[in-house]
Amino acid sequence: MPQVQTRRLLLRGFRAEDLDAHAAMDADPEVMRYMGGVVDREESWRRMATHVGHWVLNGYGTWAVERKADGVLVGRIGLWKPEGWPGVEVGWKLVRHAWGNGYATEAARASIEWGWEMLDVPALISLIHPQNDASMRVAERLGMHRASHHTINGERAIVFELARP
């Protein structure tokens, strides 16, 4: 799987040793507030493995986000399209201590640029919980606009869309 670097971040494949940090992120109620709620370590491992598997099956997927300054895993970001979703999503999730630093926008921009180069899609989307104001602001900074709504696991989400330039 390719790596992508930004000024402050390394987007790389997940490694087995990322599980502790990934599971801690998935167990944080604030991080998971708009993502279906906290999950245990076992489910976190399955989700991490799903992101790795998406790369194998589709040739694109979600990266682990590592802060270059100290090598700490600060989240996940990238492109994926789970079964039943209305398009290829650029999605992000960061550990709480990384919030407010512009990492989501920085890494998402890099993911989008990679996606335009590698994928033949007319647009990218982000599915965002209607109360997740912070993620909506990230989507807007990326140039995305509200396009529609979609139901995920029984919950309504706003579909933000970014057309290919």
The whole-number pLDDT of residue 154 equals: 84
E-strand ranges in the chain read 4-5, 9-12, 62-67, 73-80, 89-94, 123-128, 145-152, 155-163
The answer to whether the Cα torsion of 4, 41, 104, 148 is positive or negative is positive
Low-confidence spans in the chain with pLDDT less than 70: none
Output the furthest CA–CA distance in the chain (Å, rounded): 40
**Distance of alpha carbon 33 from alpha carbon 62, whole angstroms:** 20
**Distance of alpha carbon 155 from alpha carbon 129, whole angstroms:** 8
Q: What is the model's pTM?
A: 0.93
The whole-number pLDDT of residue 155 equals: 86
DSSP letter assigned to residue 149: E
The whole-number pLDDT of residue 91 equals: 96
Span 4-120: which CATH code?
Answer: 3.40.630.30
Q: What are the residue boundaries of the structural domains of the chain, listed by start?
A: 4-120
The whole-number pLDDT of residue 153 equals: 79
